[in-house]
Amino acid sequence: MSHYLILSALLFSIGAVGVLIRRNAIVVFMCVELMLNATNLAFVSFSKMHGNLDGQVIAFFVMVVAAAEVVVGLAIIMTIFRSRRSSSVDDASLLKY
């Protein structure tokens, strides 16, 4: 069982590091999705461990929420790409200090 949890923690960390070091907003966003899916893996493993179904039900909720997040996120990233011709998170730097 702990193998799945270690894999989940590993995927989550890869996602978190990706958010911090990647520049393209789309890739950053994909890394966030990776973190959510890593969490799903943890939920399902814990569900098996405890012998109840709560964790598996939650995984479905997380998928729906992630889908809704994609809709909103891509809309926002699309708009900024169209007005700037770039989706790099470093270029958007009018707001600082």
Contact set with another protein (CB under 8 A): 5, 8, 12, 15-16, 19, 25, 28-29, 32, 35-36, 38-39, 42-43, 45-46, 49-55, 57-58, 61-62, 65, 68-69, 72-73, 75-77, 79-80, 82-84, 89, 92-97
Shortest reach from residue 83's CB to another protein, in Å: 5
Q: Which two tokens stand for residue 49?
A: 């461990």
- Asked if 40 contacts 7 with a C-beta cutoff of 8 angstroms, the reply is no
The CA distance from 15 to 38, in Å, is: 9
Between 7 and 73, name the residue whose CB sits nearer to another protein.
Answer: 73
